[in-house]
Amino acid sequence: MNAPLAGAELLTRASAGTADRALDAAPTSAGTADSTVDDARLALLLKQRDAIKPLLEARSLTRHFRVRAREGLFGKSATLKAVSDVSFKVYAGKTLGLVGESGCGKSTTARLTLGLTPPTSGDVVFDGEALPARRNNRWRELRQHMQMVYQDPLGALDKRLTVLSQVCEPLDIFAMGTPPERLHRAREVLSEVGLNEAHWHRYPHELSGGQRQRVVLARALIMRPRLLVCDEPISALDVSIQAQVINLLQDIQRQYGLGMLFISHDLKVVRQICDEVAVMYLGRIVEQGPPLALFAEPAHPYTQALVSAIPTLQRGKRHQRILLQGDPPNPIDLPSGCAFHTRCPMATEQCRQQSPTLQTLPDGRKVACLRVATA
């Protein structure tokens, strides 16, 4: 699909892959004589990886919405803080996982990343170029290289058009190639995602859930993108179909060096396919790091609760389920200090007064927790 990588770009991607493989293989021991050495090694590897140019970089993304706090003609307006000061990087050929409860701002972050929703503040840099704030011609050109795979495939597809017509449509919009070339390209991509000629002339309602998701993926890949933003791409699928779609995404990424932002509630899948994981709570990233370290020794209390919910055959104190009390606060009326203090079993008076920022731990992970920062 994509053109062969140039020598310099290939070397850069190979270097990024080496750094990430070393990160995953690096020990994460704590409380041992070698822990200082391991921490220093992890920090060095993270610096080496960060020296490589990212494909996508989000810088202090913030999105606030004006809403009515109360219904009625004289209802007062209020500010809903959907996303606040979110920063991350996505590298070519690598996957960043974004996890958290429903309503924490994951999908809004995805839309901000692609420029589908304008940020209140902050910016997005794609391949060294800032994404235009408005949908101008340059934004449309960049969007060809940044595609989204939606959660609901039936809702993302036009029920009036056949599969082949829908996959061809992006090429028609951008007038790429001749009509026969577009059809040939669409057939090629559909075959790559596992849909044969028998599916090409069907309508969305005539396909299974897994087949629809493959059509959505083919439609995203038709433009030869460099970045895929996957917003809960497997949540509506059966377990067996989920595995097929995940394997397909991994195969495509390995083959073409795509960068991916993968949003999911399924922590097992995130642990399996992601090279880095960011945990969101009420619009903010509270912990970020390599999945091996983050799932083995979660630092933030919220991450600890999420990881404890992963089914496991192991028993004992280390694997006890952590049950959070209450519901997340209203994003229109956030509590003072740390937003998690109302549900945190470790909260102190300092947590109720002071809002934590992301701090880098010795092992390279980033955590926004006052208790961890002062430990």
Question: What is the mean predicted confidence (pLDDT) over 15-43?
Answer: 48
pTM of the model: 0.81
Question: What is the mean predicted confidence (pLDDT) over 221-250?
Answer: 87
pLDDT at site 16 = 45
Q: Which residues face 57 on adjacent strands?
A: 89, 125
Confidence of residue 32 (pLDDT cuts 50, 70, 90): very low
pLDDT at site 21 = 45
Q: How far is CA 158 from CA 116, 240, 280, in A?
A: 19, 26, 32
Render 311-335 in DSSP notation, one character per residue.
--S--SGGG---PPPS-PPPTTSPP
Q: Which residues face 367 on adjacent strands?
A: 287, 359
* Amino acid (one-letter) located at 132: P
Q: What is the dihedral of CA 245, 242, 230, 48, to 10 degrees?
A: -80
Please state which of the ranges 2-16, 55-69, 179-193, 303-317 shows the lowest mean pLDDT.
2-16
pLDDT at site 22 = 46
> How does pLDDT run across 181-193, given as a tens digit for each residue?
999 999 999 998 8
Q: What is the mean pLDDT of the chain?
A: 83
pLDDT at site 154 = 87
> How does pLDDT run across 284-335, given as a tens digit for each residue?
999 999 998 899 899 999 999 999 888 776 655 556 788 888 788 888 888 8
Q: Does the domain spanning 7-145+224-373 belong to CATH 3.30.565.10?
A: no
pLDDT at site 313 = 65
Burial class of residue 4 in the structure, from the number of CB atoms within 10 Å of its CB (0-12 exposed, 13-18 middle, 19+ buried): exposed
